[in-house]
Amino acid sequence: MRMSAKKCTYFVPDSTEWIVSMIGNGSSCLQYLQDLFVAMKNFYHPLNTGAFQEDLIKFVLKLAEQFVNRVHL
């Protein structure tokens, strides 16, 4: 039986807005966000270069932008 890999893409601004909106009210979102950053840390090592880095940078920048928009700084 052969299974094909299905590629799922998510729109970064929508994803980051959803993540930031989940922060607060006793949610465990911050713990999961911390786990995500720990997992992503290895991809920012200078020896790891590739096309994926642009997407990760875009994700982190949009996440910061959404957080600033939420707290109105």
DSSP 5: P
Is the distance from CB of 66 to CB of 20 less than 8 angstroms? Answer: yes
Q: How far apart are CA 59 and CA 16, in angstroms?
A: 7
Look up the pTM and report it: 0.74
pLDDT band at 56 (very low <50, low <70, confident <90, very high): confident
3 is a domain residue: no
47: containing domain = 12-71
Structural domain count of the chain: 1
The per-residue pLDDT for 25 is 86
Q: Is residue 66 part of a domain?
A: yes
In a domain, 2, yes or no: no
Within 10 A of 20 (CB to CB), how many other CB atoms are there? 21
The answer to whether residue 7 is domain-embedded is: no
Position 53 in a domain = yes
Q: Which residue has the higher pLDDT, 5 or 23?
A: 23
pLDDT, tens only, 8-47: 677 888 899 999 999 988 889 999 999 999 998 888 877 8
